[in-house]
Amino acid sequence: MKKLFAVGSTALALALTVLTGCGENKSSAPKVAFQNTDLTGLAYAKDFALTDHTGKPRTLGDFKGKVVVMFFGYTQCPDVCPTTLTEMAQVMQELGPQADQVQVLFVTVDPERDTQPLLAQYVPTFDKRFIGLYGTAEQTAAVAKEFKVFYAKVPGKNPGSYSMDHTAASYVFDRQGKIRLMVRNGQGPASVVHDVKLLLAQS
């Protein structure tokens, strides 16, 4: 599977230019020194309506009060998805007791195959606190559009052996449910731990 990073790169670059291109405002609060890409203030990735791997309807508001890390993938992904979930499990270990204030969400871009029982078996394998989310094809498309996530089916040798190309990055939200960061694939756990601790320290 290609390790794609397609988070609306042109729009994102423009938005970041607008955010960072303003003149210095001496009255503003000091900029937080995040190690990952700062998305603070961007007007997308506001919410979702999906079902978790226990069958419970979920929205972003359900996790208010926690720092949320959200990744889009699929259970049959051979590389990026298990690697990302493994790194996030390491992040949780390194956070220690603070990990209870963090929620990792795995959103499938392959609802055709990633059923509730499969997600329930797969996602908690990495960390029992992780939650798998799924929706109908239409719900998945709507959430991907809201979060500017790319995904596409890549045909295999037979109809059931296809793979999925998809955005290989994670979103991080603060305790108020506001998008704050994007973590590129392959960054390792250290920078995520650093940034999550900064967000946890904020009210």
Separation between Cα atoms, residue 84 and residue 185, nearest integer Å: 7
Kind plus residue range of the DSSP H or E element containing 143: helix 137-146
Question: How many alpha carbons fall within 13 Å on the CB side of residue 186?
Answer: 7
Asked whether 120 and 132 are in contact (CB, 8 A), the reply is yes
Torsion of CA 152, 136, 48, 87, to 10 degrees: -60
User: Is 77 annotated for ligand binding?
Assistant: yes
* Residue 166 annotated as lining a ligand binding site: yes
Question: Strand 3-4's sheet: what is its strand order?
Answer: 3-4, 163-167, 151-154
Binding-site members for Cu cation are 77, 81, 166
Binding-site members are 77, 81, 166
